[in-house]
Structure 1
Amino acid sequence: MTKTTRDILDDVLALRERVSTWGAATFRHWRPRIRRPEFAAGALNLAHYLAFRKHDLRPLQRALMPLGISSLGRAEGRVLASIDAVACALSKLVGRAPGAPLRPPSARQFYRGERQLGLAAEALFGPGVPGRHGRILVTLGSDAARDPGLLRRLAEGGADAVRINCAHDDPDRWMRMIEHLRTAERATGRRLKLLMDLGGPKVRTADVATPSDRQRMVAGDELLICRAGALRDPGYAFQTGCTLPVVLERIKIGDPVAIDDGKLRGRVVREEAGNLVAVIEQAPVKGAKLRPEKGLNFPGVKLGLDPLTAKDLADLDIVAREADMVGYSFVETAQHLACLQEELARRRSDWRRLAVVPKIETGGAVANLPEIIVQAAGCQPLAVMIARGDLAVEIGFERVAEMQEEILWLCEAAHVPVIWATEVLDGLVRKGTPSRGEMTDAAMAARAECIMLNKGPNQLAGVEALDNVLRRMGEHQAKKTPLLRELRSWAS
């Protein structure tokens, strides 16, 4: 039966009541952890958004569309204001007073979340480049320690921030990079924010052994995974050590395994003397080489690893002193965030001014994202990084596109900036030529507040190309909202 406008209004009012009640209860639960007053509005809106998305809203959206009223599809940053605006418009249509506590939101109230998100992005990544909304974050390679002019070229090319991955190089090289960064800032008059990533407990292949006549693994091959330094079992053609052998004790028969960002995928089929044997089930048509120092993942398996390693704690002495933002790898719970905050407090009395960037790269981090956001942003500035490389391996490549959308929505609801990371324009940065798919991905990345480029010999070309894409897309899209600039390609 087709619903009347009055029926639709009743549905919207009932929705508002549920969202308001459930959201308020969630916010009360979070309130003791919110020490930053500027995050309170974002936390409340996030609580409302979680309540809002408990429902399948598609029938209501369908009913609203023919009435020329918002279908609530872009309510992330302003949940109650969006519902109130719709309810008040429907009340006008049926000739009924909306009733307390409803009133049409003012423009200032309606766009408050958008304004707060913009201020947060500026605080973390700087004011940006005129004419471009998104910021560009560039990962520094070892050449940044050797070449004093590289940072200046990146700053002049349009980079807004730089990243040092503490899983690579060493403190001496990091300090040379930072020295070159400060020199570039003085020369260009631009302040570039510095993100330093803690390496975390990344499980990798160690030494490898392959047959003399065949290095590539294909589906059906067996792989012996053993403790580092324990190779050369004559019974297996393909063997690799594990950089964190303790994880081998936590893997069961039947658990999945993925190697080198998922190029090789298989399953553990048996255990032999503390080592594991896996059968490769998926591989490229021509196979893939087994190499050392490549990611070794066990998707969906809870490894119970502390994301702060002994190396991270040592690195944190430098990171807390030098960085504007601390990247936190393999974080999965709010308690993990609390542990990092305790370590920062030991190193800086003003640690709450230091921004934190949890990297969302596991299924556990996705599931616990609201609590991670509250624990982090309740105490200090926060940006969330969508680390699509490990995330794809952990949750499956087919789910990554969907999940990065949901992470964007959740963070917008909390008024928290997002860093879109992993392999953006990777072909251009590493090989000098982008693919069509990479350019489309870069355009989609414009919905994030910051986009990260990996290291490679053509970073400056990557910065220039990304700058161009972001300027163009900024005229057509703001987060989920299409912007209807006049079309010029078909001008008569």
Structure 2
Amino acid sequence: MKKTKIVATIGPSSIDKIKELDKYVDVYRINFSHGDKKSHEEYFKIIRENSEKPILVDLPGPKLRIGNLKEKILLKPGDKIIFSQDEGIPVEDPLFYKVVKENTEIYLDDGNIKVHIDKIDNNRVEGTVLDGGMLTSRKGINIPDINLDSGVTQRDLELLKEALDLGADFIGVSFVLSKEDIIKVKEIVKNKAWVIAKIETKKALNDLENIIKVSDGVMVARGDLGVDIGFQNLIFAQKRIIKISRLYGKPVILATQVLESMVNNTVPTRAEIIDASVSVLEGVDAIMLSDETAIGNYPIDSVKILEEIILNVEKELKPELLPPNNIDDSIAAGAVSTSEFDNDIKLIVAHSRTGNSIISVSRLRPKQIIIGITPNKKLYRKLYLLYGVYPELEGAESKDILDIINNSKVIAKKYINNGYILILGGDPKSEIGRTDFIKIEKI
């Protein structure tokens, strides 16, 4: 059973394959940058009918995109091109014409295509291709050092309401610039979903620790981040984001071009295998596939191979006892230390009404899988994102510690036939959100 989770973006290539994907996928992602209300509703309906796994909705943010092209365009170095609403390469968003500047470079398709801006005339921009490539519809436009007041747009707020009405479990906030962007979204979301901060700008890195503190989770969005800070700096930013997220016990997702070659090929490159392996070694909670499963030719092969990579690397992982943030973390550290030195402990069972006990154990990456038991139906699906956690919904809410122990033993028998289990959680009679007991029981 893998511990590092898989997030799969659902699109035309995979929407009819949910039952096959469900063997490997832990979280389904729907990118609200694409489609409309009708298609979003249809995607939710199909996923919910075929899986109990959670859904992550990605808000577009102030993401500039190429419009719809009649056909693919091969751009070669030296080509003269025009961006406008009426001719050449379509860009419909008026923001593009306000923020682009003459004698600068912009990037298309996650930095694969580089264009020098020669001339701007109202809503008509002329440029020269520096680094060429194949351009297709709806690809992103990156303008380094773009100056915006907020990463949350009015369109985001409209789509946020739609996502909450559909029952999204996670909300991905794109182009976060500061903690205020996350606070603004959380004030609307309240406790309906976990808010995931997508780190993809230099400004976000400058306010990283504060953003992580107020978020429910974090995504390392390497495509746009690499363009904004320089690809040579990406590995250092990635390591920093993962480290701080884990310190604060916030689930962290690695994204962008993980197995990109599998859009058109049945096997990944050696470099992609190493990249995914390093991400597991660094301790991410989840790895996300984008085009590989959304529009790629081999969505099932992609998730299957990613699982094989994860399982192979996890054989070498060891727990990491991070400094505690509170007494709950201290108790979790004691539990993980005990399970590390006692080979007879086969499972860790964490019981929680809020998720705190489960998160505190998960952040330490124990060698055992974690059975996360909760009576909270809204929390239940979200737990699928956490490293090493296999969620279980408690039938009747436990009245005391003895109830928790008995329920834990019954559920543990679904996973093991014999051996010891370590149980931790909070006494139902005490303050909610506290972890205050550890117990070892034999199955």
TM norm structure 1? 0.59
1:375 partnered with 2:214: yes
Q: Do the aligned residues in 2 keep the contact of 1:201 with 1:309 (CA within 8 Å)?
A: no
Whole-angstrom distance in 1 between the partners of 2:123 and 2:25: 48
Q: 2:8 aligns with which of 138, 156, 164?
A: 138
Q: Which residue of 1 aligns with 2:402?
A: none
Q: Note closer, same or farther for the CA distance 1:301–1:475 as it changes in structure 2 (3 Å cut).
A: same
Deviation at residue 408 of structure 1 after TM alignment: 1.0
Q: Do the aligned residues in 2 keep the contact of 1:453 with 1:459 (CA within 8 Å)?
A: no
Whole-angstrom distance in 2 between the partners of 1:295 and 1:465: 27
1:271 partnered with 2:120: yes
Whole-angstrom distance in 2 between the partners of 1:183 and 1:271: 50
1:420 partnered with 2:254: yes
Deviation at residue 304 of structure 1 after TM alignment: 4.2
Q: Which residue of 2 aligns with 1:222?
A: 80
Q: Which residue of 1 aligns with 2:194?
A: 355
Whole-angstrom distance in 1 between the partners of 2:254 and 2:103: 33
Q: Do the aligned residues in 1 keep the contact of 2:30 with 2:58 (CA within 8 Å)?
A: yes
1:176 partnered with 2:42: yes
Q: Do the aligned residues in 2 keep the contact of 1:142 with 1:173 (CA within 8 Å)?
A: no
Q: Which residue of 2 aligns with 1:163?
A: 29
Q: Which has the higher helix share?
A: 1
Whole-angstrom distance in 2 between the partners of 1:209 and 1:257: 22
Q: Do the aligned residues in 2 keep the contact of 1:204 with 1:294 (CA within 8 Å)?
A: yes
Q: Do the aligned residues in 1 keep the contact of 2:196 with 2:218 (CA within 8 Å)?
A: yes
Q: Which residue of 2 aligns with 1:451?
A: 287
Q: 1:315 aligns with which of 141, 159, 166?
A: 159
Q: Tell me, what secondary structure is at the counterpart of 1:431?
A: coil
Map 1:99-114; keep pairs closer than 5 Å. none
Q: Note closer, same or farther for the CA distance 1:252–1:426 as it changes in structure 2 (3 Å cut).
A: closer
Whole-angstrom distance in 2 between the partners of 1:315 and 1:272: 32
Q: Note closer, same or farther for the CA distance 1:256–1:460 as it changes in structure 2 (3 Å cut).
A: same
Q: Do the aligned residues in 2 keep the contact of 1:257 with 1:278 (CA within 8 Å)?
A: no
Q: Which residue of 2 aligns with 1:476?
A: 316
Deviation at residue 273 of structure 1 after TM alignment: 4.5
Q: Note closer, same or farther for the CA distance 1:479–1:177 as it changes in structure 2 (3 Å cut).
A: farther
Q: Which residue of 1 aligns with 2:21?
A: 154
Whole-angstrom distance in 1 between the partners of 2:96 and 2:261: 33
1:460 partnered with 2:327: no
Q: Note closer, same or farther for the CA distance 1:273–1:201 as it changes in structure 2 (3 Å cut).
A: closer
Whole-angstrom distance in 2 between the partners of 1:451 and 1:176: 25
Whole-angstrom distance in 2 between the partners of 1:176 and 1:161: 17
Whole-angstrom distance in 1 between the partners of 2:69 and 2:42: 33
Q: Which residue of 1 aligns with 2:220?
A: 386
Alpha-carbon displacement from aligned partner over 1:320-347 (angstroms, at most 9, x marks no partner)? 1311111111111111112212332xxx
Q: Note closer, same or farther for the CA distance 1:296–1:135 as it changes in structure 2 (3 Å cut).
A: same
Q: Matched residues, percent identical?
A: 27
Q: 2:174 aligns with which of 318, 329, 335?
A: 329
Q: Note closer, same or farther for the CA distance 1:246–1:468 as it changes in structure 2 (3 Å cut).
A: closer
Deviation at residue 293 of structure 1 after TM alignment: 2.3
Q: Which residue of 2 aligns with 1:245?
A: 94
Deviation at residue 134 of structure 1 after TM alignment: 0.4
Alpha-carbon displacement from aligned partner over 1:232-254 (angstroms, at most 9, x marks no partner)? xxxxxxx4232322332233333
1:366 partnered with 2:205: yes
Map 1:49-60; keep pairs closer than 5 Å. none
Q: Note closer, same or farther for the CA distance 1:219–1:333 as it changes in structure 2 (3 Å cut).
A: same
Q: Which residue of 2 aligns with 1:299?
A: 144
Whole-angstrom distance in 2 between the partners of 1:342 and 1:414: 21
Q: Aligned pair count? A: 315
Whole-angstrom distance in 2 between the partners of 1:273 and 1:160: 47
Structure 2 unpaired stretches of 5+: 322-339, 341-443
Structure 1 unpaired stretches of 5+: 1-129, 186-190, 232-238, 345-350, 377-381, 484-492
Q: Note closer, same or farther for the CA distance 1:430–1:418 as it changes in structure 2 (3 Å cut).
A: farther
Q: Note closer, same or farther for the CA distance 1:462–1:289 as it changes in structure 2 (3 Å cut).
A: closer
Deviation at residue 258 of structure 1 after TM alignment: 0.9
Deviation at residue 419 of structure 1 after TM alignment: 0.4
Alpha-carbon displacement from aligned partner over 1:181-203 (angstroms, at most 9, x marks no partner)? 23323xxxxx4121111122221
Whole-angstrom distance in 2 between the partners of 1:250 and 1:162: 34
Deviation at residue 272 of structure 1 after TM alignment: 3.1
Whole-angstrom distance in 1 between the partners of 2:63 and 2:137: 13
Whole-angstrom distance in 1 between the partners of 2:33 and 2:178: 21
Q: Tell me, what secondary structure is at the counterpart of 2:29?
A: strand
Alpha-carbon displacement from aligned partner over 1:68-121 (angstroms, at most 9, x marks no partner)? xxxxxxxxxxxxxxxxxxxxxxxxxxxxxxxxxxxxxxxxxxxxxxxxxxxxxx
Q: Note closer, same or farther for the CA distance 1:172–1:221 as it changes in structure 2 (3 Å cut).
A: closer
Q: Note closer, same or farther for the CA distance 1:324–1:292 as it changes in structure 2 (3 Å cut).
A: closer
Alpha-carbon displacement from aligned partner over 1:133-176 (angstroms, at most 9, x marks no partner)? 2011111113555x2xx222112x22111111111223333333
Whole-angstrom distance in 2 between the partners of 1:478 and 1:319: 38
Deviation at residue 180 of structure 1 after TM alignment: 2.8
Q: Which has the higher strand share?
A: 2
Q: Tell me, what secondary structure is at the counterpart of 2:127?
A: strand
Deviation at residue 306 of structure 1 after TM alignment: 4.6
Q: Do the aligned residues in 2 keep the contact of 1:420 with 1:451 (CA within 8 Å)?
A: yes
